[in-house]
Amino acid sequence: MAAQQSFAIASIPGDGIGGEVIDAGLQVLDAVAELSGGALEFRVTEFPWSSAYYREHGRYIPEGGLEELRRHDAIYFGAVGSPEVPDHVSLWGLRLAITQPFDQWANIRPVTFLPGVTSPLRKADDVELDWIVVRENSEGEYAGLGGRNLSGRGPGEEVAVQTSLHTEKGCERIIRFAFDLARTRQVAKVSSVTKSNAQQHGMVLWDEVFARVKEDYPDVETERVLVDAMSAKFVLHPEQLSVVVASNLHADILSDLGSALAGSLGIAASANLNPERRFPSMFEPVHGSAPDITGRGIANPIGAIASAALMLDHLGLPAEADAVRAAIEATTASGILPLDLGGQADTRQLTQAIVEALRN
């Protein structure tokens, strides 16, 4: 019997533990397909683009690679970063070489507690945390503008410039995205983060766009917070937050802080969305390649599996996505935890437990 819905998934494990956690996520997708009784099919094509590939071929993505990716319904990405390649080369060579041409301008990063997990913020199971960090993912500090050796003088006197780019359209689309998202949530609130007291051009533009857009959403509570104050607020008043929207760099930093406060970077999921669906969107754990634990079989697969759940949402399968999230929660609630959350389970054991929970 042919599947009623068949999805083409491009998997890019990338570097380090990327392969281990993507393999875990694909096992969960296999279980989702199996449980559908043949109604769903995920046709996965793996692309071996990584720092090892770069060292062999001189590029991360081969000629025609993006066109090939474009034929897929979604991209499932592991991690990029290797001790053998400078980080700015690997980031621009692979992750940003996909997010930017595919205009994946909205990066959403949910931050929630998992049952059975304690953290610096959570000492007991009765405290809740439910945020979504919305990261502007196409411009800002990641516009790649600037240069080196601008002084024209010799060694010791070099000048480098790194320019942030904020366009009115870019600010408006991500801020509207945050408001639309807030309207779907229990607490309809948007916190806009900038550093507009110091960065008096682009971030003031962001503030002005925010002030204009919020007029269209009178039902949504709002606040403007400077990024330094927001870091403190994450720690001191987590209950006051729902949707947090910020520039590319600020949201990247804040979401790492958020996931650490929820327990570990290992549980953080993300979606790089092209909301117009002109290009495939990309789903990846927030964590990097973790070369220190690569190959030891102890990587936490929860961030990658939760990212697969975000991919299911995007593919129009919200019930399946919720089932995966419930399986993760049932597993952590039963005390099966990875090493970074103070448990004993290795990648294989934790993945098996999540698959079992999904089947029950």
Stretch that binds ligand GGG, among 61-69, 75-83, 158-166, 253-261 (CB under 6 A): 75-83
284 in contact with ligand GGG (CB under 6 A): yes
Interacting residue with ligand GGG among 19, 202, 285, 301 (CB under 6 A): 285
Quickly tell me which residue has 């009784």 as its tokens. Answer: 37
Catalytic residue among 195, 217, 233, 340: 195
280 or 288: CB nearest ligand GGG: 288
Q: Which is nearer to ligand GGG, 95 or 122 (CB)?
A: 95
Beta strands 281-285; 269-273: pairing state: antiparallel
Q: Residue 80, interface with ligand GGG (CB under 6 A)? A: yes
Catalytic annotation on 30?
no
Task: Write out the two tokens for 167.
Answer: 């366009």
Restricted to residues 168-197, the positions that interact with ligand GGG (CB under 6 A) are: none
* C-alpha triplet 288, 291, 296: angle, nearest 5°: 110
Clarify whether 169 is annotated catalytic: no
Respond yes or no: is residue 256 known to be catalytic.
Answer: yes
> Binding string, 102-141, against ligand GGG, x = CB under 6 A?
----------------------------------------
If binding means CB under 6 A, how many residues of this protein chain bind ligand GGG?
Answer: 10
For the chain, the farthest-separated pair of C-alpha atoms sits apart, in whole angstroms, at: 71
CB 11 within 8 A of CB 73: no
| Alpha carbon distance 228, 47 (integer Å) | 39
User: Is residue 81 close enough to count as binding ligand GGG by CB under 6 A?
Assistant: yes
Which range binds ligand GGG by CB under 6 A, 76-84, 144-152, 186-194, 290-298?
Answer: 76-84
Instruction: Report CA torsion sign: 229, 176, 107, 260.
Output: positive
- Other C-beta atoms closer than 10 Å to the C-beta of 211 total 13
338 lies in the binding site for ligand GGG (CB under 6 A)? no
Instruction: Clarify whether 292 is annotated catalytic.
Output: no
Residue range at the interface with ligand GGG (CB under 6 A); choices 32-40, 113-121, 279-287, 322-330: 279-287
Q: Which of 30, 87, 228, 322 is catalytic?
A: 228
Tell whether residue 95 is a contact of ligand GGG (CB under 6 A).
yes
Distance separating alpha carbons of residues 50 and 274, to the nearest angstrom: 23
Find the radius of gyration of the CA atoms of the chain. 20
Q: Does 252 bind ligand GGG (CB under 6 A)?
A: yes
Q: Quickly count: other Cβ atoms within 10 Å of residue 175's Cβ.
A: 23
Closest CA to 68 of 96, 42, 91, 49: 49
Q: Torsion-angle region of residue 327: left (phi > 0), alpha (psi -120 to 50) or beta?
A: alpha
142 is catalytic: yes
Which residues form the interface with ligand GGG (CB under 6 A)? 79-81, 91, 95, 252, 284-285, 287-288
Residues tagged active-site: 142, 195, 228, 252, 256
